[in-house]
C-alpha cells in the first residue's frame, strides 16, 4: 500500500537500510533518497537496490521529501536537524530511530520550528543485530519487532498515524509510550545488559590468560557476550544520551550483584538459593510469556 | 568399543543421564546402575532406557562397579564418598563431573583411602543446558564439548587413560589442567557470567514495572539472561565450592564496570569508545577463533 511518495533516509545503515528495503518491497513508497557521510556506502546502497539515489548533502536529500527518517548515530541528530531544518517541505513528517528518546526530543525542541515539531514523531524500533552497515540490512529485520513511538503533546495525530502505518507495513508491532518512561524501560532492558556484556568481555580480555580463557568460554559466555560486538560509536552515543536512566539502573544492578557477592563471602546458603530461585522464576516466566514472541533480530 | 563392564552413575540428572545414554549408545559399557535420592526419577530413567537398573542406596549401587561417576550436586560429594568408600571394589575408577574441582579434591583427600585416591580422576564436562533432570538428558550433550580432567599427582595413568577414553567416546575433546587453574578459568568464563545473569534478572524483577520491563526486553536480554534459568541449588553449590576464585573475578568485573560507569558520569567520550572498541575487538576475535567450535549445549 502506497504510504509515502518521497522518503528520505538520513543514515543508510542497518536500521535505515532495512526500513528502506521493506518499504520498497511492500511498495509503500515511490522513491527513496539516502544521505550519509560515506559516499562508497551510499553507492553500495544504490547498487543493492536499498535506495533509489542519494545526496551527499542532507538539505538536498530532504528537499521535497514527504517523510524524513533520521537514522544516524544519536549524537549527530542536532547537527543534522540544523542542516536540514530550512529545507524541510511544509507538512513533511520527521521521525527518528534513536535508542534514547529524551535527548532527541530536547534537540528537536531546540532546533525545529513549531510547525515542524507538530510533525515530529520520535520513534525507536527495538531491533538490530550486532552487525552494522547497509550490507547487514535486510527487509525482515522488523518482522514482529516492537517499535516504540513517543509522540510529543503537540504531535499531530495524522503524522503519528502515518508513522504507525509505516512501521506496521514493515511488520512491526507499534507501542506508544511516554518519552521519559521509554528511556527508563530501555535503560533497564537493553542499555544495562550491553554495559554488562562490554564490562565482562573487557574484564576477561584484560586477564593474563585471555587466550586460554576465551578457549574455555562456553555457550553461556558466547550468548552473554554477543552484544559486546555491537557498534562502539553507537553505544557511546546511547550511553551519553540516556545517561541519567542508565546510571540509575547501573546502581540498582550493583546492589543486586553486591547481595550475591556478600552471600558468597559469608557462605549464606539460604540467601544464595533465594536469590537464584527468585531470578530463575522470573526468567522462566519471561520465557513462558514472551519467549516465542520476541524476534530473533531484536537484540537492542 | 567396550570400555567398562559395570558403570555406576550416582546422580542420574542431565549430566549423569546424558553420559549413561551416550556410553550405552556406543556400546562402551555392559551395565549401568543408577543411584539417586528420588525413586520416581530413577524409575523414569530405567523406563527411558538411560540406566539398566537402580539402587536407593549408594553403597549398593557402587558394589562391583568398575567405574563410578559422581554426578550429584557438589555439596553432596562428601556425604556420598563417605557412604560408598567401604564398598568400592579394589581398583575401581572414581571420577566426577563437578564444575569446581578444588573442593572435590579436598573432599576426596579427606575421605578416600590412598589406593582409592590413585584411581580418582576429577573431571568437568563443560556442557549443560539450563534444563535439568534425566528427562532433559540426551546422548549428544557432550558432542564436541570440552571435558577438563584435573588429575592429582598420585593419579594412576591407567585410570586417567580410561576416563579420557570414556569422554572421547561421548564425543568430547579432553583437556588436562591443574586443579586450581581450572577453578580460576571456570570462575571467569562460566561462574561469573552466571552471577551477572542472576543479578540482572533479579534486578529487573525487583523493579515496580517488572511486567512491562519483561515485555520490552529484547533478544539481548533474552540471550544474556538465559543462564539465569539454571538450577539454583547447583549454582549455590558451585558458588560456595569455588568461592575464592569467584570472588576474585567478581572484584575484577566490578573494576571494569566501574570504569564504564565513571566514563558515563563524567561524559568521557574517549574513554567509553576505547572500552567498547577494546571489548568488541576481543569478542570478535573470540567469535572468529571459537565461534564455530563451541557446542550449542555448552552453556556452563
CATH number at residue A255: 1.10.3660.10
Edge to edge, what strands does the sheet with A146-149 contain?
A: A123-126, A146-149, A173-176
Cell digits of residue B266: 563524567
pLDDT (0 to 100) of residue A294: 41
* DSSP helix/strand/coil, A146: strand
Strands A146-149 and A123-126: antiparallel
Q: Which residues pair with B31 in a beta bridge?
A: B6
Residue A77 covered by a domain = yes
Yes or no: say if B27 and B51 are a contact pair by the CB < 8 Å rule: no
Yes or no: say if A291 and B241 are a contact pair by the CB < 8 Å rule: no
Region B202-213: what's the mean pLDDT? 86
The pTM (predicted TM-score) of the whole model is 0.87
Question: Rg (Cα) of chain B, in Å, rounded?
Answer: 21
Residue in chain B lying closest to A175 (CA): B216
Count CB atoms within 10 A of the CB of residue A1.
7
ipTM for the predicted complex comes to 0.87
pLDDT (0 to 100) of residue A100: 96
Q: Does A239 lie in the same domain as A226?
A: yes
Residue in chain B lying closest to A261 (CA): B247
The answer for residues whose C-beta is within 8 angstroms of residue B105's C-beta and 6 or more apart is B122, B150, B152, B179
Q: Does B170 lie in the same domain as B230?
A: no
Instruction: Tell me: pLDDT of B143 over 70.
Output: yes
Residue A149 covered by a domain = yes
Residue B131 covered by a domain = yes
Please give the mean pLDDT across all residues of chain B: 92
Give the domain extent around A262.
182-290
Best CA proximity match to A68, nearest among A13, A23, A8 = A8
Q: Which of B199, B229, B276 comes nearest A198 by C-beta?
A: B276
The answer for residues whose C-beta is within 8 angstroms of residue B120's C-beta and 6 or more apart is B93, B94, B95, B108, B112, B152, B155, B159
In eight-state DSSP terms, residue B256 is: H
Lowest mean pLDDT among A194-198, A206-210, B9-13, B203-207: A206-210
Q: Does A200 lie in the same domain as A123?
A: no
User: Is the Cβ pair B201, A279 closer than 8 Å?
Assistant: yes
Lowest mean pLDDT among A144-153, A173-182, B203-212, B285-294: B285-294
Best CA proximity match to B38, nearest among B129, B134, B141 = B134
CATH number for the domain spanning B71: value is: 3.40.50.720
Cβ under 8 Å to A: B residues 142-161: 146, 148
Q: Rounded to an integer, what distance in angstroms lies between the CA atom of residue A183 and that of residue B80?
A: 52
Region B154-160: what's the mean pLDDT? 94
pLDDT (0 to 100) of residue B129: 74
pLDDT (0 to 100) of residue A54: 98
What are φ and ψ of residue A11, in 5° steps?
105, 90
**Which of B143, B177, B211 delimits the end of a domain?**
B177
Q: Does B189 lie in the same domain as B148?
A: no
Residue B296 covered by a domain = no
DSSP A214-258: HHH--HHHHHHHGGGGS-HHHHHHHHHHTHHHHHHHHHHHHHHHH
Residue B238 forms contact with A (CB below 8 Å) = no
Residue B297 covered by a domain = no
Q: Rounded to an integer, what distance in angstroms lies between the CA atom of residue B118 and that of residue A135?
A: 58
Q: Does A200 lie in the same domain as A167?
A: no
Best CA proximity match to B190, nearest among B142, B246, B123 = B246
Residue A296 covered by a domain = no
Tens digits of residue pLDDT in B249-279: 999 999 999 999 999 999 999 999 999 999 9
Instruction: Tell me: pLDDT of B299 over 60.
Output: no
Q: Does B80 lie in the same domain as B11?
A: yes
User: Is the Cβ pair A199, B225 closer than 8 Å?
Assistant: no
Q: Does A216 lie in the same domain as A86?
A: no
Q: Rounded to an integer, what distance in angstroms lies between the CA atom of residue B166 and that of residue A126?
A: 47
Question: Rg (Cα) of chain A, in Å, rounded?
Answer: 21
Cell digits of residue A118: 507538530
Yes or no: say if B189 and A218 are a contact pair by the CB < 8 Å rule: yes
Tens digits of residue pLDDT in B47-80: 999 999 999 999 999 999 999 999 999 999 999 9
Q: Rounded to an integer, what distance in angstroms lies between the CA atom of residue A269 and that of residue B75?
A: 11
Residue A297 covered by a domain = no
Residue B300 covered by a domain = no
User: Is the Cβ pair B214, A279 closer than 8 Å?
Assistant: no
How many domains does chain A fold into? Answer: 2
b/e sequence B34-46, b meaning 16+ C-beta within 10 Å? bbbeeeebbebbb
Q: Report the sign of the C-alpha dihedral through residues A240, A242, A245, A246, in that order.
A: negative
Outline where chain A has alpha helix (H).
14-25, 39-47, 58-62, 77-84, 102-111, 114-118, 157-169, 179-186, 192-206, 210-216, 219-225, 232-241, 243-265, 269-290
pLDDT (0 to 100) of residue A298: 42
**Which of B177, B196, B230 delimits the end of a domain?**
B177
All residues of chain A having their beta carbon less than 8 Å from the beta carbon of residue B148 are: 216
All residues of chain A having their beta carbon less than 8 Å from the beta carbon of residue B282 are: 201-202, 204-205, 210, 214, 228
The answer for residues whose C-beta is within 8 angstroms of residue B70's C-beta and 6 or more apart is B10, B11, B77, B80, B81, B94, B95, B96, B97, B98, B104
Q: Does B137 lie in the same domain as B194?
A: no
**Which of B141, B158, B177 delimits the end of a domain?**
B177
Helix or strand holding residue A9 (H, E): strand A4-10
Residue A5 forms contact with B (CB below 8 Å) = no
Strands B123-126 and B146-149: antiparallel
All residues of chain B having their beta carbon less than 8 Å from the beta carbon of residue A183 are: none
pLDDT classification of B296: cutoffs 50, 70, 90:
very low
Q: Does B170 lie in the same domain as B43?
A: yes
User: Is the Cβ pair A236, B269 closer than 8 Å?
Assistant: yes
Q: Rounded to an integer, what distance in angstroms lies between the CA atom of residue A206 and that of residue B252?
A: 9
Counting one residue from chain A and one from chain B, the pairs whose CB atoms sit within 8 A come to: 318
pLDDT (0 to 100) of residue A230: 86
* DSSP helix/strand/coil, A101: coil
Q: Does B201 lie in the same domain as B125?
A: no
User: Is the Cβ pair B250, A267 closer than 8 Å?
Assistant: no
Q: Does B225 lie in the same domain as B149?
A: no
Residue A256 forms contact with B (CB below 8 Å) = yes
User: Is the Cβ pair A280, B246 closer than 8 Å?
Assistant: no
More confidently predicted of B37 and B226: B37
pLDDT (0 to 100) of residue B219: 62
Q: Does A209 lie in the same domain as A79?
A: no
pLDDT averaged over 10-residue windows placed end to end, chain A, 300 residues:
96 96 97 97 97 98 98 96 97 97 97 97 88 92 95 94 98 96 94 94 88 75 81 93 97 97 97 95 85 43
Q: Which of B218, B226, B233 comes nearest A298 by C-beta?
A: B218
Among B202, B262, B278, the strongest candidate for a mutation testing the A interface, having the largest count of A CBs within 10 A, is B202
pLDDT (0 to 100) of residue A149: 98
Among A199, A245, A251, the strongest candidate for a mutation testing the B interface, having the largest count of B CBs within 10 A, is A199
All residues of chain B having their beta carbon less than 8 Å from the beta carbon of residue A269 are: 236, 240
* DSSP helix/strand/coil, B145: coil
pLDDT (0 to 100) of residue B186: 93
Amino acid at each position: 500500500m502506497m504510504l509515502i511518495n518521497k522518503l528520505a533516509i538520513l543514515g543508510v545503515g542497518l536500521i535505515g537500510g532495512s526500513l528502506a528495503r521493506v518499504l520498497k518491497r511492500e511498495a509503500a513508497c515511490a522513491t527513496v533518497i539516502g544521505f550519509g557521510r560515506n559516499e562508497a556506502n551510499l553507492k553500495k546502497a544504490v547498487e543493492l537496490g536499498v535506495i533509489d539515489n542519494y545526496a551527499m548533502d542532507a538539505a538536498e536529500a530532504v528537499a521535497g521529501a514527504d517523510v524524513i527518517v533520521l537514522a544516524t548515530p544519536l549524537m549527530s541528530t542536532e547537527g543534522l536537524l540544523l542542516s536540514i531544518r530550512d529545507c524541510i517541505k511544509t507538512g513533511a513528517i520527521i521521525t527518528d530511530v534513536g535508542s534514547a528518546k529524551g535527548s532527541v526530543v530536547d534537540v528537536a525542541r531546540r532546533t525545529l520550528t513549531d510547525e515542524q515539531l507538530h510533525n515530529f514523531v520520535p520513534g525507536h524500533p527495538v531491533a538490530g543485530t550486532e552487525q552494522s552497515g547497509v550490507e547487514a540490512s535486510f527487509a525482515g529485520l522488523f518482522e514482529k519487532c516492537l517499535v516504540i513511538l513517543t509522540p510529543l503533546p503537540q504531535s499531530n495525530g495524522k503524522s503519528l498515524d502515518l508513522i504507525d502505518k509505516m512501521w506496521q507495513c514493515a511488520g512491526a508491532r507499534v507501542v506508544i509510550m511516554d518519552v521519559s518512561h521509554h528511556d527508563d524501560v530501555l535503560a533497564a532492558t537493553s542499555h544495562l545488559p550491553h554495559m554488562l556484556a562490554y564490562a565482562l568481555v573487557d574484564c576477561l580480555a584484560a586477564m593474563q590468560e585471555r587466550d586460554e580463557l576465551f578457549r574455555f568460554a562456553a555457550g553461556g559466555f558466547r550468548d552473554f557476550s554477543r552484544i559486546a560486538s555491537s557498534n562502539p560509536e553507537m553505544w557511546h552515543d546511547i550511553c551519553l544520551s540516556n545517561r541519567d536512566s542508565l546510571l540509575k539502573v547501573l546502581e540498582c544492578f550493583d546492589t543486586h550483584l553486591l547481595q550475591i557477592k556478600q552471600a558468597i563471602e559469608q557462605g549464606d546458603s539460604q540467601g544464595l538459593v533465594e536469590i537464584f530461585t527468585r531470578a530463575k522464576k522470573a526468567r522462566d516466566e519471561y520465557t513462558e510469556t514472551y519467549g516465542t514472541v520476541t524476534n530473533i533480530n531484536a537484540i537492542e
